[in-house]
């Protein structure tokens, strides 16, 4: 859950200020909407493929690490976006990162839930996601208003780094907990 907290926190920091960021780099509302639409479509297709791959080859923990590592580079990409084209390219790589890590994280989390606790533990996970989103929305607006997008991207990088460190620790856990 801690890894999820830091990862969702980082990923959701841009959400409340995304349209403003898109305008700042020369885009408009259509740019913002179409970039998200492309990203979500790629994530949807990628998650199906990645989930099947992880299950077949038992690569859940490795995929979490790889996805989080790619996302670290995506955040560096955000810091260097200068045009709508850069936004589209960065979102494609973000979709790749999420596609690789998300089903692996869910699969790993499912594998460590005690029998008879699936509903409550998934309730914990989704509660964490929404509470994290609330916190990151508040922090995002404040940080961006006070210090700008660069500070926001550094915070995203730091929190995603914490998630990556946690996932590296998971590589040391035996297959069956």
Name the CA radius of gyration of the chain, rounded.
16
Q: Over the stretch 68-113, which tens digit does the pLDDT of each residue have?
A: 999 999 999 999 999 999 999 999 999 999 999 999 888 888 888 8
pLDDT digit string, tens, across residues 10-43: 988 999 899 999 999 999 999 999 999 999 999 9
What is the rounded CA–CA span in Å between residue 8 and residue 161? 12
> What's the predicted TM-score (pTM) here?
0.88
Q: Rounded to an integer, what distance in angstroms lies between the CA atom of residue 149 and that of residue 176?
A: 42
- Determine contact, residues 43/99, Cβ cutoff 8 Å: yes
Q: Please state, in angstroms and as integers, the Cα–Cα distance from residue 44 to each residue in 36, 40, 60, 134, 147, following that order.
A: 12, 6, 18, 24, 34
Q: DSSP of 103-121, one letter per residue?
A: HHHHHHHHHTSPTT-HHHH
Token pair for 128: 């964490």
Q: For position 105, what pLDDT does the model report?
A: 87
């Amino acid at each position: 859950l801690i890894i999820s907290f830091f990862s969702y926190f980082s990923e959701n920091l841009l959400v409340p200020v995304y349209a403003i960021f898109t305008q700042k780099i020369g885009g408009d509302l259509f740019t913002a909407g179409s970039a998200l639409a492309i990203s979500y479509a790629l994530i949807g297709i990628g998650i199906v493929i990645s989930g099947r791959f992880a299950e077949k080859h038992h690569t859940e923990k490795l995929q979490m690490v790889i996805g989080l590592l790619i996302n670290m580079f995506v955040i560096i990409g955000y810091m260097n976006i200068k045009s709508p084209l850069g936004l589209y390219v960065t979102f494609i790589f973000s979709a790749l990162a999420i596609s690789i890590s998300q089903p692996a994280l869910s699969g790993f989390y499912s594998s460590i839930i005690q029998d008879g606790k699936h509903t409550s533990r998934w309730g914990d996970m989704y509660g964490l996601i929404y509470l994290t989103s609330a916190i990151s929305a508040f922090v995002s607006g404040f940080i961006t208003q006070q210090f700008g997008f660069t500070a926001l991207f550094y915070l995203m990088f730091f929190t995603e780094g914490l998630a990556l460190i946690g996932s590296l620790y998971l590589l040391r856990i035996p297959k069956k907990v």
